[in-house]
């Protein structure tokens, strides 16, 4: 590799980052999937981890979800959810992820008869150990499955109220087409009244109008994916003016055919338009890469500069649900990790510049 490439690769591996778009069930590696299946006496439809990995060739979001839900059924006990969380934390900290805001899908488990409490106890125990053993902070974001009914989402929210101190926000994920955010407006209004923040997947396979609905009807403070905003110039301008974060997942977008190749990804153009873009891994066990792999793939294909890499990492902390003091501490660490400060950016984030949405 050229010296500049070596330098930027090292920079990506070295700088602290926050991950804001990670589905914990999507971090289930084949080896752990087989281990949990054996532990729980379950049969998988694949003979080996190699055969399972060969199946990770997706035509669209739904083709991925079919395998994703097949894998998730091995998660049955508190220990299973603990082991899943611990495995992700170990992998994330190796990439210098200092803070993570982790999605989980309780309906995926409760509809199989797994108690909500079992899911929560396993996840929260794993995150407690993440802080004590690895120094990584983490929050949980409960996601509603948008291809299920609004009534099911509301029932799930009711179950979550007993754990409101352990869940920072609610979100919306799963099959996007045909399931607009407006379907869940009442559920999100109730969640906000109970003190939860709100985020939503929108503008991945769904149209830009779904992003607008997520902002206006769900009052989402972050948009997960959001890459199709580029199709609506007025929406793009609004997202930039209001500094609404987009949690973009480059490898996922290519794997699910949102873009035909990494070279065609619009991440760099979104940055150039002043949007608060972040890089994340989405479902890394299925899409071929955790945080650093996503950064490296984007840098090599799009020619990201040092300043752009720094900006993406900085955005990840600014877009987080950390307190002002915590964000400042992480951004100071980030700034100190670079040979020179990035021109044009203040030393500390100014919360007053982030308008409510």
First-to-last C-alpha distance (Å) of the chain: 43
Q: Which residues are catalytic?
A: 204
Give helix then strand counts, H and E, for the chain.
17, 8
SS3 343: coil
φ and ψ at residue 103, rounded to 5 degrees: -75, 145
HEC string of 170-195 equals EEEECCCCCCCHHHHHHHHHHHHHCC
Strand order in the sheet with 197-202: 17-23, 97-104, 137-145, 169-173, 197-202, 222-225, 245-248, 276-279
The tokens 């977008």 sit on which residue?
253
Cα distances from 97 to residues 15, 124, 210, 215, 317, in angstroms, run 9, 18, 30, 28, 11
The answer to whether the beta carbons of residues 155 and 106 sit under 8 Å apart is: no
Structure tokens at 137: 């902070």
Q: Is 2 left (phi over 0), alpha (psi -120 to 50) or beta?
A: beta
The answer to whether the beta carbons of residues 40 and 74 sit under 8 Å apart is: yes
């Amino acid at each position: 590799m050229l010296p500049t490439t070596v330098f930027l690769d090292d920079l990506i591996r070295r700088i602290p980052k926050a991950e804001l778009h990670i589905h914990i069930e999507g971090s289930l590696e084949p080896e752990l999937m087989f281990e949990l299946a054996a532990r729980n006496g379950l049969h998988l439809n694949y003979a080996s981890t190699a055969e399972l990995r060969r199946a990770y060739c997706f035509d669209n979001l739904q083709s991925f979800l079919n395998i994703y839900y097949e894998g998730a059924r091995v998660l049955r006990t508190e220990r299973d959810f603990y082991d899943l969380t611990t495995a992700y934390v170990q992998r994330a900290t190796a990439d210098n992820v200092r803070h993570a805001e982790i999605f989980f899908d309780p309906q995926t488990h409760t509809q199989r008869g797994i108690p909500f409490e079992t899911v929560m106890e396993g996840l929260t125990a794993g995150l407690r150990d993440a802080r004590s053993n690895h120094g990584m902070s983490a929050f949980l974001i409960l996601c509603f499955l948008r291809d299920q009914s609004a009534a099911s989402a509301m029932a799930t929210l009711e179950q979550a109220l007993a754990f409101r101190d352990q869940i920072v926000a609610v979100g919306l994920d799963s099959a996007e087409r045909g399931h607009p955010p407006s379907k869940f407006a009442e559920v999100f209004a109730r969640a906000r009244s109970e003190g939860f923040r709100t985020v939503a997947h929108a503008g991945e396979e769904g149209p830009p109008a779904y992003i607008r609905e997520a902002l206006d009807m769900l009052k989402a403070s972050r948009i997960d994916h959001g890459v199709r905003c580029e199709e609506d110039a007025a929406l793009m301008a609004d997202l930039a003016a209001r500094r609404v974060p987009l949690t973009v997942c480059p490898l996922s977008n290519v794997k699910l055919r949102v873009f035909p190749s990494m070279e065609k990804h619009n991440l760099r153009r979104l940055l150039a338009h002043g949007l608060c873009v972040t890089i994340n891994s989405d479902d890394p066990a299925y899409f071929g890469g955790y945080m650093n792999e996503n950064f490296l793939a984007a840098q090599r294909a799009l020619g990201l500069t040092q300043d752009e890499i720094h900006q993406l990492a900085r955005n990840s902390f600014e877009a987080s649900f950390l307190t002002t003091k915590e964000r400042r501490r992480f951004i100071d660490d980030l700034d100190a990790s670079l040979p020179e400060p990035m021109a044009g950016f203040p030393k500390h984030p100014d919360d007053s510049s982030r308008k409510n949405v």
